[in-house]
Structure 1
């Protein structure tokens, strides 16, 4: 009898049938693998990035340089996750290929993971188990200006609410 390997039944977080190359704004959250606090700490309601956090910030800010017709809006790097708004702009040139939200996130995760691996080897950054980021990411399609403003406010105020955040390790004990 032949054994058939079955992949784990993972539920997609994406909106079924939605085209994630569509122009628009997307709110994304990326969490570190194991929710390790690697990027710095919250002090008096403000995020203080460490060297790793600055590396994450540098790659996030370089997204528009890497992807034509992609921009970033408000973002915050927290001790163990990142919240940010990625904007896929409308493309008028019919010969230009639309980029997907997933390809932007994949590129960002790959670049930061590769640099983190080098930092572990060369700078003594904390070692990790194969991945810097969790396998997936959370996203929300921003559909109107009111929602955009609410999400921007959430991002900016996120460090102030760290003591209430489910990603904060104090809640895991």
Structure 2
């Protein structure tokens, strides 16, 4: 019996090193709630994530990634109990590329996949355990409206946690 064929996650023939903004979601291994818990929600206390020790590692590593990738900028992120969402901007392409290249152009630079791979590897190494599921979700941000919609989604994500399919009210899992 053969294993099912995995669907490719990336847009074929797109250069993920192209100058522009990208929305990335990476889920925890088995979607376990290892990065923290959502707290707050009162009138004067908006819902927010209180990070676990593993969540603190993810935050610290995400914020340090520009040391390894100086042409990238994290513009917005949220660490949820079982995943991380962020907007990353490639500020300089391999040859001053435009923001809107043809998806059929093929270039060797794959900055975003390398960035995600490094982030996963470094957080796993620091935590001493495998934190992440295989793969990740990416979305190429196409215009200002798309960017603003994703920014708002990231902002509102902690408040929507009680409606998440992985939410449980009997306490959060921590490593």
Asked whether 1:48 is paired with 2:44, we answer: no
When normalised by structure 2's length, the TM-score is 0.79
| CA deviation map 1:87-138 (0-9, x unaligned) | 11124778xx955100000000000001111xxxxxxxxxx6xx31010000
The corresponding residue for 1:107 is 118
Q: CA deviation at 1:65?
A: 1.5
* CA RMSD of superposed structures (Å): 2.1
2:132 maps to: 133
Map 1:148-163; keep pairs closer than 5 Å. 148-163=147-162
Contiguous gaps of at least 5 residues in structure 1 = 118-127
Matched, 1:18 2:14: yes
Between the two structures, name the one with larger relative contact order (CA 8 Å, sep ≥ 6): 2
From the two aligned structures, give the one with the greater helix fraction. 1
**Pair 1:9-2:5 in alignment:** yes
How many residues align structurally?
A: 152
User: Where do 5+ consecutive residues of structure 2 fail to align?
Assistant: 41-46, 97-107, 170-175
**Length-normalised TM-score, structure 1:** 0.80
Is residue 18–residue 94 contact of structure 2 (8 Å, CA) maintained in 1?
A: no
Secondary structure of 1:86 counterpart: strand
Aligned partner of 2:29 in structure 1 is 33
Q: What is the Cα deviation at residue 166 of structure 1?
A: 3.1
Residue of structure 2 in register with 1:125 after alignment: none
1:10–1:159 distance in 2 versus 1, CA, 3 Å: same
Runs of 4+ in structure 1 off by over 4 angstroms are 5-8
